[in-house]
Structure 1
Amino acid sequence: MQYMNQTSADEPRLIQTVSAINLQIKDLIAERLSCVWVEGEISNLAQPASGHIYFSLKDSQAQLRCVMFRASRRQLPFKPENGLQVVVRAKASLYEPRGDLQLIVEHMEEAGFGALQRQYEALKKKLHSEGLFANALKQPLPFCPQDIAIITSAIGAALQDFLKVAQRRYPNCSKSIYAVPVQGDSAAPAVTQALACINRHASADVIAIIRGGGSIEDLWAFNDERLALAIAASNIPVVTGIGHEIDFTIADFVADRRAPTPSVAAELICPEQAALQLQFEHSATKLTQLLVHQHSTKVQTLDWLGRRLNQLDPAKLITRQKQYLEQIIDRLERTIDDSCKQSKISLDALAHRLSRENPQHTLTQSRSQLTEIVKSLHTLTHQHLQKRHYRLQLSANSMHVVSPLNTLKRGYSITTTDQTQPLANIDRIEVGQRVITHFAQGQIISRVESTSSDNLISDITDQTQKDA
């Protein structure tokens, strides 16, 4: 909204609202800064649940507010964090409600070393998963190479170090130098092309890829994927000597052998001539000893075979077999004769035993023994019955003495109730009760008129004893 206002007759003023000014500024920014690349350090990072991220990009003198919407954030290959140095592609915009200038970030990547290191780790992981680092793919180095192909810069110190060590250790081999750039964008294609050329002509026994030390940016050409694939596909063994001991490139992992420096690469490839001379002399000595030993062994074997052949002469074999057969026949005859004699002795012993154990003789003896046993049985039975009879007579006499009948014969009687229960005292008798008195001959049936406790039997017994 705008309107005219006059402070005087000839001085008109155009007055605008804050919203209108902000809109104009936003349009100007969008027109002039629709796509910008900005490098800075992330700070004040906020990551709400909406998926958007809000942060500030700062340098030593200023800062800018930034927003990265969820769709763009999903494309990030890394996780943003405070303090991380990044490069962003963005468009500038004005947040009208507050009049704040901000960058809408569409793309973000790590700046400097961090980005290169992340690319390095990603390629290393990929090639490792494809099996290019496997030990099974590593080719052995030739023992005494006749031709060494060296891929390096023609003016670098690395080449001189390599040649110096190779000349000192193994001066007799030839060396072919393939001069290539070892730094910059053209380095990786040049090294890859040199590898292909050497393999195509098969002009070397081993390939050395060497370079002096430097920063990660300087060595970055040796982290190229196409170069790594070319090294892995090489039919000729490849040795790398790139940088210093602490420097590791993708080419080092794919190569058949990795040396920490160019000088060490020369030591791996070139055997030491003096050591080879000693080894050859030692091998010659061992070979001579082996030949002498084998000759001695062969002579001994030949001598043994001659003796063996003499022993295996057919005429001698037949003679030995005949002697052996005669010995067997003689032993068989002696064995049969001894067996017959032993059988005769056993037969005589059995005949004697049979005559001694004649069944008729045994039966007669058994009958005689049976007769004696029967007689003894009769005698023992008669004696046993007499003893039993005597014991029975004694028992009968003893029973007769104590028998109630014998008592009755002596003049006594036994009085019982109607139920034939003996009455030993008057306690069990009642006046008027019917009782039966038994004598030796007969009985009396009576009824009780009275009872008395006087013991007449004792008196009679006492009187009888006095009369006696």
Structure 2
Amino acid sequence: MADTPQANPQTARVLSVSELNRMARDILERNFPLFWVSGEISNMTRAASGHWYFSLKDSGAQVRCVMFRGRNSYLDWVPKEGDKVEARATVTLYEARGDFQLTIEFLQRAGLGALFEAFEKLKQKLQAEGLFDETRKRAIPAFPKQIGIVTSADAAALHDVLTTLRRRMPGIPVVIYPTPVQGKGAANLIANAIETASRRAECDVLIVCRGGGSIEDLWQFNEEIVARAIVNCSMPVISGVGHETDFTIADFAADRRAPTPTAAAEMASPNREALLNTLLQQQQSLQRSMSYKLNRYMQQLDFLARRLLSPAQQLTHKQESLAQLGTRLQNSMLQLLGRQQEKLLRLSLNLQHLNPNAVLNRGYALVQTRDGAIVRASSQIAAGDPVNLRFAEGSAEADIRSTAKPD
């Protein structure tokens, strides 16, 4: 009998168990997207780490499940053994033991699917009517004069809101419009309280709130009558229903959604401490600005003061200036007088050189005819003409005996 051919381990790849489990896990995670599965909880274990380990089973099979602390901390309820649930999960493989298991992302009680369907249907209807449009939303006043609250008078949410308002801005008056927020017919009562606040119009902003709970507990805020009352309210409305992960129709209809009632109170009221800090910062900034300007003006004043002289100083400076001008005038006059004296001396010398008496003093005589004309050439006279001779000292009369022409 012929032997069956066997694969040669030296030529075919041999997987380790770890590689096999890793490949199986990758295949499962890639081919199974996030999905919903329903079943009954069994073998529930809450580890010290905060993770939950349990099985989901039905009449024919079961599967191991894990819900990590980062996910189960968002639930507002704790599942127990035998609970019928619906889980949103992904498929994976725990490689260390090779266990096929589900990683639970979200968990809810079975039967809530109909509520979610009703929620989405009403949401789409109101959204189509434009009730959720951002253009319709009104701004929350920064400094309301009075705040209204629609909630149960016995609710812990009311205590949280009032405590927050007293802490942030204790001087703002508060008007409470009490109403049941849970149970049959509560939606009509909530809508009536909102309409009462709108009609009285005594507040600047209205908070509609309640604490956390299951989807059934919060369902009154998913009713159409409450959404329309919020939209038609005469003042801006802040919805603070449930916890951060809870969303209701009232949240979409309101002008602002707060994740918690405490957050709604924070949105509605200014922060006194923050305002005081801002005021202090502005005061300090103003003081710095004024100090800077005062220092600058003082420096300018000092500069101008150095330039500004007293009347006595001004008189002294004017006297000194006048004395300097007098000295300059005297020097100028002396210089001018000296120059004029020098000029006069030159003119005197010139005049002396041109003075006929100076020539006569050297022995010359001035010859004049009887009519006073000066004889400069022999052709002006003839023999027998009488002439007058003028000397440096005295004069004489003579007759011309003869004349001669120049050579």
TM-score (norm 1): 0.38
Work out which structure has the larger RCO, using CA pairs closer than 8 Å and 6 or more positions apart in sequence: 2
Q: Which has the higher helix share?
A: 1
TM-score (norm 2): 0.43
- For the pair shown, the structure with the greater C-alpha radius of gyration is 1
